[in-house]
Chain A
Amino acid sequence: MNNVNTSNITKNKPILSDTVLIAIFGALWGFMEISLGAILKGIRIPMGGAILTAIACIIFLTGRNFTQRKGSIIMMGTIAAILKVFSVGTVIAGPFMAILIEALIGEVMISIFGINLFSYVFTSGILTLYTIVHPLISQGLIFGENIFKIYLETFKQIANLFNIDVSYLGWIIVLYAGIHFMLGAISGWLAFSLATRVKKDFIDLLHYRNYTL
């Protein structure tokens, strides 16, 4: 049974069509964004955005493993973003843009590096790193470039007040970014491992139920 070529799941159309797979993983991503997103926002957990992105990576990268269609991550992301827009009780503009940009970055990275462990780990790592940059981008769009001038000036004032050396800030940022990347890398590894295991279990299940691949 283990000799069954797992790529048959996607190559043989009757088993699972790309359209249904993309729709289902997009809906799962959207549901996760609405439910877990609201919980994480409510409890104000540190790195909540990175955690949400890491889980999103697990979902869409696992889904991407089952479909060969290019642009599938963008489609899943668009579904998730639209669902998020219509979810009640959230500030919509930021997360909407974040999901779309995440999907775009994910799609580009997977198209370049292909479906393998390295690309999954690297893509997820980059995406969780992006969560650090995203607030700056969205605030730049909403408030304009002057918001950066205010941030910079505020930082200088705080540094002067506490006599903090600028080089320390550099190390803090590197450490913070490193933690984000690690979180992403773990989720990428998990997505790859999950997809491999799910393929096996799903084939076993279909075989058990006498479905032909």
Chain B
Amino acid sequence: MENKDTQWNLWEVFVQYKAGKAYEHVGNVHAPDAELALQNARDLYARRERLAGMWVVPSEAIVASSATDSESFFDPADDKVYRHPLFYKIPKGVSLDVE
């Protein structure tokens, strides 16, 4: 039997913690339309802390890579070690504590 989601459409929620920062994916909500998606997202994800912004995006609008793409997409080029940031020696006195 098909296990169908009987709830409203799914929306992905992204929040911005500070103006100018990147939006981060925090989860999803069900909602019948965009305005209510925003309201539901606010109730679920914005009640505990102060946010600078919020996006909701229909989940079906997300284009995702597939598991079979994994090798060709994501396997680091292990034969080219110089592509890794850790390949380079960091001079003393340079702080790694960057945000």
Chains A and B are bound partners:
no
